[in-house]
Chain A
Amino acid sequence: MLVNQFLILGAVLFCIGVYGVLARRNGVLVLMSIELILNAVNINLIALGALQGPEAAVTGQVFSLFVITIAAAEVGVGLAIVLLIYRNRTTVDLDEVDLMKG
């Protein structure tokens, strides 16, 4: 298998995630798009690790485990923030959350 198969799939998922972050208005959907981006990163880490030999393969797996853990923490805090926005403004529309816009 070519390493580029995996890297380009990662790039595709990353770009779909970037589109989602830019185009979605719902806060929960933006968080889902961020998960797509983090998954693309994990594919890249594991594919590049597998390319470089056994030690790098293990290192790539360990780093992707760290990324998965941090993604879980990020979703927990992110959803708590979205819930707080909903409670204060009864909407999760990110276009209406413009308190800090100059």
Chain B
Amino acid sequence: MLAQNLSFAVLATVATVAALRVVSTRNVVHAALYLVVVLASVGALYVLLAAEFVAAVQILIYIGAIVVLFLFGIMLTRPTIGSEHGLDNDQRWMAGVTGLLLLGLLSFVLVDGFGDRQLPRLDGMSREALTAERGTAAVADSIFSTYLVPFEAVSILLLAALVGAIVLARRD
């Protein structure tokens, strides 16, 4: 339990600091690289919650595909790569106040609603029982039985997004 709490503390700190750097750094490429740190820490947190397939997908899709897309987007929309001014607009103080107020409200509601409810302890279970119960096989069963129709709908959505992105971005 101590090891879990310790790794949570480290990962949560890394994720929070890197997320703050994503929204505060002056270099757009650094923002994308800090985003990699956030996404990797969140992926490790999924492992801590016994969701290993989602962790693998997080690394593959987010870090492998989405961040690369971001880097291409930066590359194609920047005359120069480097530190620059004017990435923030003049309402940043109001934005900070909004964020802090929202954080206060959400924390109050969460502490009030969930208090000190513990997550069920999984370290007593055998590995076979754990994977059968909530591992990759269970996720696959659920996707291809209960959530088959949403799964197909998402694949149509991906196809539509692909076609839309090509239509938008190509030069005629």
Known contacts A8-B107, A75-B70; A24/B57 CB under 8 A:
no
Cross-chain pair count, CB within 8 angstroms: 248
What residues on A are CB-neighbors of B110 within 8 Å? 4, 7-8, 11
**Residue in A39, A70, A86 whose CB lies within 8 Å of B42:** A39
Residue B73 CB within 8 A of the other chain: yes
Contact B54 A46 (CB under 8 A): yes
Known contacts A50-B119, A51-B119, A51-B120; A86/B77 CB under 8 A:
yes
Q: Is the interface of A mostly helix, strand, loop or mixed?
A: helix
What residues on A are CB-neighbors of B141 within 8 Å? 58
Contact A28 B77 (CB under 8 A): yes
Per the 8 Å Cβ criterion, residues 1-41 of A in contact with B are: 1-9, 11-20, 22-29, 31-33, 35-36, 39
**Residue in A16, A26, A53, A57 whose CB lies within 8 Å of B20:** A16
Known contacts A18-B98, A23-B89; A2/B57 CB under 8 A:
no
Contact B28 A77 (CB under 8 A): no
Per the 8 Å Cβ criterion, residues 90-134 of B in contact with A are: 91-92, 94-96, 98-100, 102-103, 106-107, 110-111, 114-120, 133-134
Minimum distance in angstroms from B99 CB to a CB of chain A? 4
Highest count of chain A CB atoms <10 Å: which of B1, B12, B51, B120: B51
Of the four ranges (under 10, 10 to 19, 20 to 34, 35 or more), the interface on chain A belongs to 35 or more
Contact A28 B19 (CB under 8 A): no
Known contacts A13-B15, A18-B102, A68-B62; A4/B70 CB under 8 A:
no
Contact with A along B59-87 (1 / 0, CB 8 A): 00110011001101110110000000011
Contact A42 B42 (CB under 8 A): yes
Minimum distance in angstroms from B24 CB to a CB of chain A? 9
What residues on A are CB-neighbors of B138 within 8 Å? 54, 58
Minimum distance in angstroms from A83 CB to a CB of chain B? 5
Name 6 extra pairs, CB < 8 A, besides A57-B50, A59-B142.
A1-B4, A8-B111, A15-B103, A23-B88, A46-B49, A80-B169
Residues of B within 8 A of A (CB): 1, 4-5, 8, 12, 15-16, 19-20, 22-23, 28, 31-32, 35, 38-39, 42, 45-46, 48-51, 53-54, 57-58, 61-62, 65-66, 69-70, 72-74, 76-77, 86-89, 91-92, 94-96, 98-100, 102-103, 106-107, 110-111, 114-120, 133-134, 138-139, 141-143, 146-147, 150, 154, 157-158, 160-162, 164-166, 168-169, 171
